[in-house]
Structure 1
Amino acid sequence: MRLKVIIPVVLISLSAGVLAFTKLGLSDDPPGRYEVIMNLVGQMLKEGHYQPKPIDDAFSKEAFNKYLRSLDVEKKFFLKSDIDRLAPLSTHIDDELKGAQLDCFRNINTIIKQRVAEASAIYPAILSQPFDFTKEESVVLDVDKVEFPADSVARYEAWRKMLKYRTLEKLTDLQETRDKSREDSVKNKTDQQLEAEARDKVKKVYDRYFERIKNRQDDNDRFSLYVNAITTTMDPHTDYFPPDEKRQFEEQMAGKFFGIGAGLKEEDGKIKVLSIITGSPSWKEGHLKVNDVIQKVAQGDKEAVDITGYPVEDAVKLIRGNKGTTVKLTVKSVDGTVKVISIVRDEIIQEETFAKSAVINGTHKIGYIYLPEFYSDFNDRNGARCAADVAKEVAKLKAEKVEGIILDLRFNGGGSLPEVVEMAGLFIPEGPVVQVRSRGGDAIVLRDRDKSVQYDGPLAIMVNEYSASASEILAAAMQDYKRAVIIGSQQTFGKGTVQRLFSLDDFYPVKDGQSLGALKLTQQKFYRANGGSTQLKGVSSDIVLPDPYYEVSERKDSDALAWDEIPKSNYEIWSNPVNTDNLKKNSEKRMANSAAFKLLNENLATLKKLEKQESYSLNLATYKAEQKVNTAALKRYDAVNDKVKELNITSMKVDLDKIGSDTTKIARNKDWLKARTKDIYLDEAVNVMNDLIAQTLPKMQRKQQ
C-alpha cells in the first residue's frame, strides 16, 4: 500500500533546510518498517531532490545492478544463474518505492545469505591443501574485467585462484623475512613450512571476514545497502543513514560525541584499547588500560554482545551512546584476568577535527592553518564552529607577526555552508561568496556583509583532489576575488551540491523506539561568484602540483549531476589582486629543477602503469620478478621525502601552554608537526608564499606612500 505523504511544496531555509512534509498517520493495515522507509525515501527523492531522475524501470535497473555490486564486490558469491533468476525483478524497485512489496530486496537477500554460507565452506577446503606455485597460471583481480561465475565449479575455481594469490603474497613476505633473519628458528624454515604458514595466515584473514559477516551483516545492514543503492543512483551524495550512522554523521559534523574516551584498534580479530584520553570517562573510572581486549559490550543491564571479529567502526557504534548512560565492557587484561567495567558515557571532544595552526620559519615568517573539515555543531549554539575557530587561529598568527598565511584544505571534504560563507568574510571586505540555487528557483546570493577584514596579508590555499564542497566554495571565492593563490591538484573533487539531513521519524510515528533513520538529500546546487558551477569540474589550481591522489573525483561517477553556469554576481576583486602568472612560472621552474619532484613524477607514472595491470601471475618465480620491479618503484617513491628539505615548523607558545603537561597531547602535537616537516607539497607552498610575499610587499609599500 502507498503511504500518503502530502508534500505541497519544498521549502528551503538556508540556515536550517526545512522540507515541508506532513506527518504520517498509521492506517488500519500498517506497513512494515522497511516498507515505510522505502515509501518515504521514494517520495522524498521525487518531491525534494534538486534534480530528480524519473523513477522508472531504467532507474530500477541501475539501482539493482549497483546493489548486487555492493553485496558481492569481487563476484565470488553470486552465480550467473542467480543473476538471471533475479533479472525480472530488476525493474521492480520503482514499484517498491511507490508502495509495492519488497520482492526484489527479499529475493536478493535470501540468495546472498545462501551463497555466503556456501562460500564459508569453500575457502577452508581450498586452504587445507598446499598450492603448486610452479604452474603457469594467472588471476584477474580487476572486478570490472570478470563475470559472475557460471556455476558452482567456476565459483570454486575463482575462489581457488584468489586464495592462491593471497597465499603467494604472504609466502613471498615470509621468505623475505626468513632470508634476512639471523634467528635459527626462522632462517631454518623450509619453503614447505612457510607455504603452510602462509595458508594459515590467509585462512585467519577469511575466518575473521566471514565471522564479521555472520555477526554484523544482518537483514538491516543489507537493507541499508539496498536503500543506498537507490539513493546514490539519484546522485552520489544522497544517502540513507540507519539510526547509528545518523548519530555518527552528526557527531562528525559537531566534532564531539558521547562515549568513554578510549581509542580502539583491531588486531587479529580482537578489539584492543589503543589509547585513553586524559580526563575522559575511561580515564576517570581508571580500570580500562591500553592493550586491554574488549570482548563484549552491554547497554546498561541488557545482555552483552560479543564483538569478536567486529571491525573497529562497528565496535565504536555499540560503545558510544547518549550522555549519562552506562556501557558495560567485558575486558580481558594483559595479565589474562577478565572483568566487567561499567563506564558512564560523557561528552568527548574530537580535537583532531578542529582547526590547528603553527608557524613556519624561513625566508619569511609564515602562518600555517590546517582545517580538516568545515565543522559546525547544529545541535548546540555554543558548540564548535570552524569559522570562529579559524578566526582565532588567524588572530594568534597575526600576534606572531607572520608575513603570510597558508590555509591547508587538503583532504577537506566540506561541511557547513554557512560556516564557509562566514570564513570567507575573514579575508574579503564584503560581497558575494557563493550562489545557491534550489530546485526550480532562482539563485540566492550568500554574501559576506561585514566590511571589516580580519586578515589582509598574503594568502595561499592548499587543495588536492579530495578537497570538496565547502573547500571548493572557499577556494573558488578567493580565486574569483583574486584574493589568494590556489596551490595543489589540477582540479579539486567537483562536488557542487548541497545536502540537508532529514530524520524520517519526523514524518512517521516511531513504534517501540525503533528509529527509521535519516535521509541526506541533495536539494541545492551552488555556483561561484563568477557564475560557474564547481560541480564536476571542481576548482582549477593556480599552481598545479603533481598529485598522487587520482581517480577519486566526482567526474568518475556516472550518476553525478552535470556542470552548468548561471549569470555572475556583482563583486569587486581584491584591492591588491594576486598576480599568479609569475608565481606559476617560478614554481614550474623550481619543480623542473627539483630532484624530489622529478622523482615524484617518475614514480607516479610507474604507479599509474601498475594500476593498469589486469592479471597477476600465480607462478612464484614470475611473481617475484614482477614484485622486484614494483618494490623498486615503491622504494623510489618513499625516497622522495629524503630529498625534501626539512621545514622549521613550530607550535606557538600560546598553544603549548594550553597543552600543558598532558603527555598524550604533547605526543600528538609532535606527531602532527613531524608529519609536516618533510611534506613536499607544503614545502612548495612555502616557496610560492615566499614569492607572493616578495610580490605583495612592494605594492603595499607604494600604496602607503
Structure 2
Amino acid sequence: MKLKRISPLLLTFALVSPLALLARADNLPLSGPTADQSTASKLVYGLLSDSRYAYRPRALDDTLSADIFDRYLKALDGGKQFFTAADVARFAPYKTELDDAIRSGTLTPAYDIFAVYKQRVDQRVAYARGLLKQDFDFTGDERWYYDREDAPWPASDAELDGIWKKSVMNDWLRLKLAGKKPAEIRKTLDKRYANLLRSVNELKSEDVFQTFLNAYTSSIDPHTDYFTPRTAENFNQSMSLSLEGIGAVLQRQDDMVAIREIVPGGPADLSKKLSVGDRIVAVGQGGSGPMEDVIGWRIDDVVAKIRGKKDTLVRLEFLPVEEGVDGKHSMVTITRDKIKLEEQAAKAETITLPAHDGQPERRIGVVKLPAFYQDFEGRRRNPNDYTSATRDVSRLLTQFKADKVDGVVMDLRNNGGGSLDEAVELTGLFIDKGPVVQVRESGGRVSVNSDRHAGVAWDGPLAVLTNRGSASASEIFAGAIQDYGRGLIIGETTFGKGTVQNMVDLDRWPANETERFGQVKLTIAQFFRVEGGSTQHKGVVPDIAFPVSVDATEFGESTYDNALPWTKIAYVPHTQYGNFAPLLPRLEALHASRIAQDKEFQWWSDDVAQFRAEAEKKYVSLNEAERRAERDKQDAKRKSRQAERKELGLALDPLADDSLDDGLGANERDIVKDAAREKLADKRPDPLLRESAAILGDAVQVLGEDRKLSALVLPESTSIGSWAD
C-alpha cells in the first residue's frame, strides 16, 4: 500500500482526559466491537508497525501489550479512584493478550475491562451520594491528596471509601467557603455525582474503541492518535477554522444543551431569535421534517443534528433563557451557512509605550496567534482564496506598516501548533528566501523546508513571546527567527515537541464511499532547526526569560515517558540577520529595572510563585479554619491590589470581584454570567505582553543610540531587520 502524503500537521496537544473528547456515532451496546472497528484495529496495527509510515515503529508484542494495558487503565481511571488492586490483578492476564486482540481485531478484553469500570463508577457514585446524607467535621487535620497518578492502586474497597470521603469533603468545603448552605450543597453535589454516572453510562461502543486504540497509539509515541470518523471531522474543522452550521457554541447543562456563545454574523446571530442561555429541546431537519426531542442527549449528538450542509434548513425548538424549566417553548428556522471560527483566528492590537527618560513614545503592534491553522481542502479548491494563519497575519502586518508602528510582537503563548506549511510560510513573512526547518523521515532522509518567496511583509523590529504552552509549529517559527537573528525571543522555554504528524485516512485503502474506519494522526518525521538542533525536549530557550509559570516536570514533552530523545543533525547555511548576544545584557538590565517598579508584573510573579508552591504540595487541607484563613488572605490581597490599581491609575481587573473559588464546575454555573465572565477575561491586565513590547522598545532605543553596538548586533548589509531609528 502506498501512503498518500498530505501536508504534514504539527498538531495541538490537549491536556484533557481522553474520554472527555470522545464522540459517538452509533447506539451500539457495549457487548464488543463492530466489524468496522475490528477492521480499523487491523489497519491501525498495519500503520504503526510499518517503518514505511511510522517514524518510530514498535513491534506489537507482549512488552508493548503491557504498556497498552497500563495506558488503558490510566485513560479510564487516571486518578485511581475506581479500580482496586484486586481489580487490576484480575485484569492481569490481559497484559499479554492485548497485542493479539489488536492484530486480530478481537477486542473483547478492552470491553471486559470497561464493563468492570462502569460497575465501579456506579458503586463509587452511590457511595458518594450516600455520604451527602451526613454532616462532616472540618476541624481536624485531614488532607485531600488530589494528585493520585503515582499512588498505588487502593488495596481494598475500604481504602477507596476513605479516598472518596475526603474527595467529597473537599467538594463540600469548597461550596461552604463560597457561602452555600447545607441543603444547597447537598443538591449541587448530588447532581454532580449523578451527572458523572450518567456521562459514563452514555459512553458507547465507539467511545470504548477509541479510548482503547489510543492506549495503543500513545504507546508508540505521545502524539500519535486514533480518531473516529466524527472526531476526525471535528479536528479537521478546527484546523480549517470553519464548519457548516448555525454559528452557535453549545454546552451541556443537566439534561439539556444550552447556547454558550453565538458567532457574530452567523445564521443564529442573524435570526435575532436566539440568545446565550437558551436551551435546545428539539431539532427538525428541513422545513417540515419531524422534530426530534434531544433532552438528555449527549452534546455531540445534538451538534451532529444541528450541523449540516450550507443552504439547508434546520428547525430548533428551544426554551428561552428567561423561562423556567416549565416555561413556554419557542421555535426558529435557520438556514445553515459556512461559519468562520474567528475567535481562533489571528488578531491584532497596538500597545503605546509612553515617552520616558528621553525615549520617545513608541507604538508596538501585537499579533496574537492561537494556532497555525489552514483550510487544506479550501486551498486545494482555490489556492488564491482560503483560510490560513499566514494570510491573516500578512494582512495584519500590512496594516501595521501603514500605521507606522515601531515594532511587532508575535504572541504565541499557548499556541500548540498546527500546520507545518503555515510555520514555514509565516516565517517567510519576516525573512527573505531561505531554509526554515529540516525534516528527517523514518528512513533517515533529511529534507529542508524553505521559504521560496522573495521579499517580506515586515522588515522592522520583531519579538516573539512564548510560554510553556507554545509547541510544535510555534517552536519551528520561534526557532527559525532565533537562528536567523531576525528577532528577540521573550518569555518561557517552549513545550519541546519536535515531531511531525500526518493525518492518514483509514478509509482510503478499502476505498469506502462513506466514512467508516476513522483516521490516524501518525508521527512520520522529526523536525530540526536550521542550526541543526532539535526542539525535542529542550524547546526554544528565550533570549530574555520571564519567571517559569509551569515546571518542566509537570508540563511539556519531557513529561512523556516515551517521547523521542533530543538529537542534532547538520547545520544548514542561512542568512544571519543579526546577533543579539551583545545586546542582551543591556536589555536584561533595563528589563530588571522596569519590572522592579511594575506592580502588575510583580503581582504576576508572586502569583506564579504561590501557584507553584501550592502545586508542589499536591494536597489541600480539609480544616475549615485553615482554608477560610487562606481564602480571607486571598480576598484581602485581591482588594488591596484593586485599590492600589486605582491609586496608581492602572487599569482595573474586570474579574477582581469574581476571582475567588465558587466551588462549581463549568456546567454548574449560570451560563449567561459565565460566558460574560469569559469575555471579560480577555480584558484583564497582561503585564507579560506589555513588558515584551517594552523590551522591544528598549532594543530599538539602545541600537539607535549606540551605533557601535548596533554594528555588532545588526550588520548594515541588509535592510531586513534594521532596527535603528
Q: Into which bin does the TM-score normalised by the smaller protein fall?
A: 0.7 to 0.9
Deviations 1:505-537 (A, max 9, x none): 1123559x4622111111011100000001111
Name which of 111, 116, 131 aligns with 2:116.
Answer: 111
How far 1:166 moved relative to its partner? 0.9
Report the number of matched residues.
645
- Which aligned pairs between 1:234-633 and structure 2 lie closer than 5 A? 234-267=220-253, 270-297=256-283, 301=289, 304=292, 306-308=294-296, 310=298, 315-333=302-320, 334-335=322-323, 336-362=327-353, 363-381=361-379, 382-489=385-492, 491-508=493-510, 510=512, 513=514, 515-550=516-551, 551-574=554-577, 579-625=583-629, 627-628=631-632
| Offset from partner CA, 1:492-517 (integer Å, 9 cap, x none) | 01111111111111123559x46221
Distance in structure 2 (CA, Å) of the matches to 1:87 and 1:122: 27
- Show the counterpart of 2:41: 38
- In structure 2, C-alpha distance between the alignment counterparts of 1:669 and 1:614, rounded to whole Å: 31
Cα pair distance change 1:563/1:404, threshold 3 Å:
same
Deviates more, 1:606-615 or 1:80-89: 606-615
Which residue does 2:20 correspond to in 1? none
Deviation at residue 71 of structure 1 after TM alignment: 1.1
Whichever residue aligns with residue 476 of structure 1, its letter is G
Q: Aligned partners of 2:185, 2:677: CA distance in 1, in Å? A: 38
How far apart are 1:260 and its partner, in Å?
A: 0.8
Q: 1:171 corresponds to which residue? A: 176
Secondary structure (helix, strand or coil) at the match of 2:349 reads strand
The 1:565/1:263 distance shift into structure 2, 3 A limit, reads: same
- Cα displacement string for residues 369-404 of structure 1 (whole angstroms, at most 9, x for unaligned residues): 111111110011232111122111111110111121
Sequence identity, in percent? 34
Aligned counterparts of 1:136 and 1:386: Cα–Cα separation in 2: 53
User: How much has 1:621 moved relative to structure 2?
Assistant: 3.2
Whole-Å separation in 2 of the counterparts to 1:626 and 1:498: 45
Cα separation, 2, equivalents of 1:199 and 1:671: 27
- For the 8 Å contact 1:373–1:415, the answer to whether it is kept is yes
Deviation at 1:567?
0.3
Gaps of 5+ in 1: 1-6, 18-29, 176-193, 649-667
How far apart, in 2, do the equivalents of 1:500 and 1:635 lie? 50
Please name the residue that 2:688 is paired with. Answer: 681
CA contact 2:118–2:201 (8 Å) conserved in 1:
no
| Equivalent runs, 1:182-193 vs 2, <5 Å | none
CA RMSD, 1 decimal: 3.4
Shift of residue 153, structure 1, vs aligned partner: 3.5
Would the aligned equivalents of 2:214 and 2:225 in 1 still touch at CA under 8 Å? yes
Preserved contact between residue 274 and residue 290 of structure 1 (Cα < 8 Å)? yes
Aligned to 1:232: 218
* Distance in 1 between residues matched to 2:504 and 2:84, nearest whole Å: 38
Q: 1:683 to 1:339 in 2, by over 3 A?
A: closer
Q: Distance in 1 between matches of 2:206 and 2:595?
A: 52
Taking a change above 3 Å as real, the CA distance of residues 13 and 279 of structure 1, as seen in their structure-2 partners, is: closer
Offset of 1:296 from its aligned partner?
Answer: 3.8
Does structure 1 conserve the Cα–Cα contact (< 8 Å) formed by 2:436 and 2:529? yes
CA distance, structure 1, for counterparts of residue 454 and residue 480 of structure 2: 16
Q: Deviations over 1:5-28 (max 9, x none)?
A: xx4x667565799xxxxxxxxxxx
Give the C-alpha shift of residue 241 in structure 1.
Answer: 1.1
Residue 226 to residue 198, structure 1, CA distance change in 2 (3 Å): same
Q: Distance in 1 between matches of 2:628 and 2:349?
A: 45
CA distance in structure 1 between the partners assigned to 2:335 and 2:564 by the alignment: 45
AA paired with 2:429?
Answer: L
For residues 53 and 568 of structure 1, the distance between their equivalents in structure 2, rounded to whole angstroms, comes to 30
Residues 350 and 104 of structure 1: CA distance in aligned 2, closer, same or farther (over 3 Å): same
Partner of 1:187: none
Aligned to 1:184: none
Residue 156 of structure 2, aligned match among 151, 156, 177: 151
- CA apart distance, 1:290: 3.6
User: Do the aligned residues in 2 keep the contact of 1:295 with 1:308 (CA within 8 Å)?
Assistant: no
The answer to whether the 8 A contact 1:62-1:233 is kept is: yes
What do the CA deviations read for 1:629-651 (whole angstroms, capped 9, x no partner)?
A: 66667878989988998699xxx
Which residue pairs with 1:76 in the alignment? 81
- Shift in Å, 1:620: 2.9
Question: What SS does the aligned partner of 2:523 have?
Answer: strand
Take 2:83 and 2:270, find their aligned partners in 1: how far apart are those partners?
Answer: 50
Indicate the SS of the match to 1:304: strand
Give 2:94's aligned residue: 89
d(CA) in 1 for partners of 2:603 and 2:71? 39
Q: Secondary structure at the match of 2:101?
A: helix
- Cα gap change, 1:306 to 1:677, in 2 (>3 Å): closer
Q: Confirm or deny: 8 A CA contact 2:484 2:578 kept in the other structure.
A: no
How far did residue 576 of structure 1 move? 8.1
Show the counterpart of 1:132.
137
Shift of 1:477: 0.6
Match for 1:349: what amino acid? K
**CA 1:453–1:249 in 2, change beyond 3 Å: closer, same or farther?**
same
SS in 2 for 1:500: strand
Q: Distance in 1 between matches of 2:637 and 2:256?
A: 34
Q: CA deviation at 1:544?
A: 0.4
Partners of 2:284 and 2:563 in 1: CA distance: 42
Other-structure match for 1:23 = none
Q: Distance in 2 between matches of 1:197 and 1:400?
A: 55
- What is the aligned partner in structure 1 of residue 27 from structure 2? none
Q: Which moved more, 1:537-546 or 1:57-66?
A: 57-66
CA contact (8 A) 1:404 1:689 kept: yes
* Distance change >3 Å, CA 260–CA 161, structure 1 → 2: same
Answer yes or no: is the 8 Å Cα contact 2:549–2:612 preserved in 1. Answer: no
Q: Is the 8 A contact 1:458 1:484 kept in 2?
A: yes
Q: Whole-Å Cα distance in 2 between the matches of residues 338 and 530 of structure 1? A: 63
What is the identity, as a one-letter code, of the residue corresponding to 1:508?
Answer: P
Q: Any conservation in 2 of the 1:495–1:554 contact (CA below 8 Å)?
A: yes
Q: Could you state the TM-score of these two structures normalised by the residue count of structure 1?
A: 0.83
Secondary structure of the corresponding residue to residue 365 of structure 1: strand
TM-score, normalised by the number of residues in structure 2: 0.81
Residues 141 and 309 (structure 1 numbering): CA distance in 2 closer, same or farther, change over 3 Å? farther
Separation of aligned partners in 1, 2:684 and 2:627: 37
